[in-house]
């Protein structure tokens, strides 16, 4: 295990209740060392004291070892402190995204049934996208139920294709993932810096950002504004070698922004969450002159495979300790136990349908090279469809549409025929209904040049904005997309 003091082994509970791992793996380091950067830097001694203070507040609300806690906070110092305090008590901590509606949050809390909930006294409502917020906590005790198993962390899947799954991970599993990060070439090391654009509520920003940086003694900064200017200003604010961490949405934000300033400290960017189109990869590298790495992972597992230097595109190398295989075109990952929790809810498509006999189904199409062991992720398994007996990869159609001039984002689905939902850049969408109709006609003509007739969408739905999940992934739920279409200025197809 990484960075454990000599003579001390990983706590031997099945991963939930021994709080010692928090101090030993996440909070250790010189008192005066800055570790987190929000409005002001936070030193390790300050973070330890803040965690102890929050631990006392949570204990006063009745949280005990083996109890259950839910955090409904925006990315913030308050979120970090309450998360570590809950783990330090030995409780199970569930993370709920602050962007959920009140209805969605109550639904999630009804499924999780925690004993203590920490929410924001002043919830974030609208406004420009920010990398962090200032949160004043409101602690509420509930009847709830204690932790039902050995899981330290509970998260909800992104919900990009339907209802979220409840996923549990043990402390031992989180520490094992930190060990994988410690053994990867290309991740930030002690004395370096990371600017994270990925939400700390979700696995990329949580483990790949927050927990890795605390463990490896990397300085972690969050931009005040998640705009190209705001991100680049945060990079420029310190001289240490700096890596950006985000998803393709952030990558495109930076790629197509105005000419960036000179940033000698920027060493590269790592993206996860979805496939990066080749033209976006090339444009980013050309503009910034740094490496662009890719990371493939899941909420259920964390990091699975990487290509942090862009050396093997489109292939990735499995992370240390990860075993993958391909069966019937689907990528499978070896996992000793199922990560899915029902917590008293009715059975869903998770559970046996997603994990069996020690293998987790990713629902991603891909292949593993028997010679090199590298993996190629081809997209969602449900993107491979048959049209009139001919195979069509909806991911290919989607990338082709999204790459057209003026198109800002696209989702392609199969209904009664191939359907595309897409949004235009602001300039491309100007000119009122007539201008937008003319733009759509040009897009149809461009698709006809680039795609065989059987691959082309039969329906093009123009949206004002393509709905995205809390992690920045395009939503693929047809009900949500239909609602967005109905709310658009010109909903005609």
Q: Is residue 8 part of a domain?
A: no
The answer to whether residue 233 sits within a structural domain is no
Q: Which of 178, 203, 233 is the last residue of a domain?
A: 178
CB 118 within 8 A of CB 62: no
Contact status, residue 84 vs residue 22, Cβ threshold 8 Å: yes
Band of pLDDT at residue 123, cut at 50, 70 and 90 = confident
pTM passes above 0.85: no
Q: Which residue has the higher pLDDT, 478 or 206?
A: 206
102-120 residue pLDDT tens? 888 898 999 999 999 999 9
Neighbours of 477 (CB within 10 A): 17
Is the confidence at residue 393, as pLDDT, over 90? no
338-363 burial, b at 16+ Cβ within 10 Å, e below that, comes to: bbbbebeeeeeebeeebbeeebbebe
Q: Is 159 left (phi over 0), alpha (psi -120 to 50) or beta?
A: left
Q: Is residue 320 part of a domain?
A: no
**DSSP per-residue string spanning 231-293:** HHHHHHT--S-EEEEE-HHHHHHHHTSSPPPP-TTEEEEEE-SSPPPHHHHHHHHHHH-SEEE
pLDDT at 343 over 70: no
Q: Is 9 helix (H, G, I), strand (E, B) or coil?
A: coil
In a domain, 392, yes or no: yes
- Does 165 fall in a domain? yes
> What is the distance, to the nearest Å, from the Cα of residue 472 to the centroid of all Cα atoms in its chain?
8
Domain span holding position 39: 20-178
Kindly report, residue by residue over 269-327, the tens digit of the pLDDT: 999 877 788 888 999 999 999 999 999 999 999 999 999 998 998 899 999 999 999 99
Residue where a domain terminates, one of 139, 159, 178: 178
- Which of 178, 209, 228 terminates a domain? The answer is 178
**124, part of any domain:** yes
In a domain, 299, yes or no: no
Q: Are 265 and 238 in contact (CB under 8 A)?
A: yes
376-397 burial, b for 16+ CB within 10 Å, e for fewer? bbbbbbebbeeeeeeebbbbeb
Confidence of residue 159 (pLDDT cuts 50, 70, 90): low
- At 420 the three-state DSSP class reads strand
Domain CATH code at residue 70: 3.40.50.980
Mind listing the pLDDT tens digit for each residue in 217-229? 999 999 999 999 9
Number of domains in the chain: 2
Residue 12 pLDDT level (bands cut at 50, 70, 90): very low
């Amino acid at each position: 295990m990484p960075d454990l003091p000599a003579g001390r082994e990983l706590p031997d509970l099945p991963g939930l209740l021994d709080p010692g791992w928090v101090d030993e793996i996440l909070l250790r380091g010189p008192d005066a060392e800055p570790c987190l950067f929000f409005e002001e830097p936070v030193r390790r001694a300050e973070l330890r004291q803040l965690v102890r203070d929050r631990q006392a507040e949570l204990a006063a609300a009745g949280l005990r070892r083996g109890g259950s806690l839910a955090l409904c906070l925006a990315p913030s110092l308050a979120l970090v402190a309450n998360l570590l305090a809950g783990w330090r008590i030995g409780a199970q901590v569930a993370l709920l995204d602050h962007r959920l509606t009140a209805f969605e949050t109550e639904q999630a809390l009804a499924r999780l049934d925690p004993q203590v909930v920490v929410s924001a006294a002043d919830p974030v409502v609208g406004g420009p996208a920010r990398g962090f917020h200032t949160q004043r906590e409101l602690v509420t005790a509930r009847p709830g139920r204690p932790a039902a198993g050995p899981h330290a962390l509970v998260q909800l899947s992104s919900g990009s294709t339907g209802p979220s799954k409840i996923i549990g991970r043990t402390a031992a599993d989180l520490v094992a993932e930190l060990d994988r990060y410690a053994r990867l070439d290309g991740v930030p090391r002690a004395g370096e810096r990371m600017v994270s654009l990925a939400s700390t509520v979700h696995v990329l920003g949580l483990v790949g950002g927050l927990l890795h940086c605390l463990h490896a003694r990397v300085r972690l900064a969050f931009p005040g504004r998640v705009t190209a200017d705001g991100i680049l200003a945060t990079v420029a604010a310190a001289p240490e070698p700096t890596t950006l961490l985000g998803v393709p949405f952030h990558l495109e934000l930076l790629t197509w922004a105005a000419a960036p300033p000179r940033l000698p400290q920027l060493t590269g960017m790592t993206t996860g969450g979805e496939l990066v189109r080749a033209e976006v990869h090339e444009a980013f590298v050309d503009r910034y002159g740094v490496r662009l790495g890719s990371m493939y992972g899941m909420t259920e597992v964390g990091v699975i495979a990487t290509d942090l230097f862009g050396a093997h595109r489109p292939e990735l190398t499995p992370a240390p300790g990860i075993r993958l295989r391909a069966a019937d075109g689907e990528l499978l990952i070896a996992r000793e136990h199922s990560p899915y929790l029902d917590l008293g809810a009715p059975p869903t498509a998770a559970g046996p349908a997603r994990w069996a006999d020690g293998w987790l189904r990713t629902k991603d199409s891909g292949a593993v090279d028997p010679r090199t062991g590298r993996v190629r992720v081809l997209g969602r398994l449900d993107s491979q469809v048959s049209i009139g007996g001919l195979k069509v990869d909806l991911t290919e159609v989607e990338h082709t549409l999204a790459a057209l001039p003026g198109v800002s984002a696209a989702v392609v689905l199969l209904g009664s025929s191939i359907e595309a939902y897409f949004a235009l850049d602001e300039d491309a969408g100007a000119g009122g209904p007539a201008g937008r109709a003319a733009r759509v006609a040009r897009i149809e003509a461009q698709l006809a040049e680039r795609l065989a007739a059987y691959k082309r969408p039969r329906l093009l739905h123009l949206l004002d904005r393509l709905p995205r999940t809390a992690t920045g992934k395009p939503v693929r739920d047809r009900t949500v997309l239909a609602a967005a279409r109905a709310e658009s200025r010109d909903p005609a197809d």
